[in-house]
Amino acid sequence: FRKAFPYVKKLTHERPHDANDWLLYAATLAGKSAKAGIFSLLSHVGQIHRALEKAVRFAPKNMGARIALMIYDLRAPGFLGGSKRQGMVELRAIQAHDPALGMVAEAEMLWTQGHRTRAISELGQALRLKPSLKGAESILVQDELVLAMRDRQKKRLRQKAAHAFQSAWRLDRARAIRGKPRRLAAYYHMGMIAAVTDRHLHAGVRALDYYLTVIPP
């Protein structure tokens, strides 16, 4: 960050109305200041906030910049330039532009406010509503929120795999005397391996669901 900052600063002088340059300026200055220590960060928060405001002003439809400004306003106390009222203004603008992205922003707001369970649910719902956000959510919100959501999804998938395997196992034992079509054995064993090893759970659940659905009565 320290080596990159002079170059980024030069870009903002050469292209003073480029929103991406101001967003990069804010991120680089924040990283540089954080590396130098808390007092350096505190001395530069005003510049960081102004850079985010410029990024939004020059590109109102840049939702990444709006989310960054919203996060700053919600997290930073008033004497550091933060404003909960302005943070809510940004949130409403994001929701109006893209409902799914608005849910991502609201998840970040809820997480920041300590409403962890609601934040995880909101983020998960946003990704179901707009799967194309998958992969971008870790850029838009805190890593801790993304990890908590993924951990919950993994736990639910693990439970689903265990339940499906139990059902398939009971069905397999009930039909063991009469035998079962060989072509279905692979699905059963694929699901069993996934449930036991806790790996490839999505594929394992699909295999067991297919086995339970297709196997003749």
Contacts 24+ apart (CB under 8 A), 89-95: 90/56, 90/66, 93/60, 93/66, 94/63, 94/66, 94/67, 94/70
Whole-number Å distance between alpha carbons of 90 and 68: 10
Mean of pLDDT over the chain: 76
pLDDT of residue 106: 86
List of domains in the chain: 5-149 (1.25.40.10), 153-214 (no CATH)
Please state the rounded mean pLDDT for residues 180-201. 69
Statement: residue 30 has pLDDT above 70? yes
Q: List pLDDT tens digits, range 134-176.
A: 655 555 566 667 677 777 767 777 777 777 777 777 666 555 5
pLDDT of residue 5: 80
Whole-number Å distance between alpha carbons of 91 and 107: 11
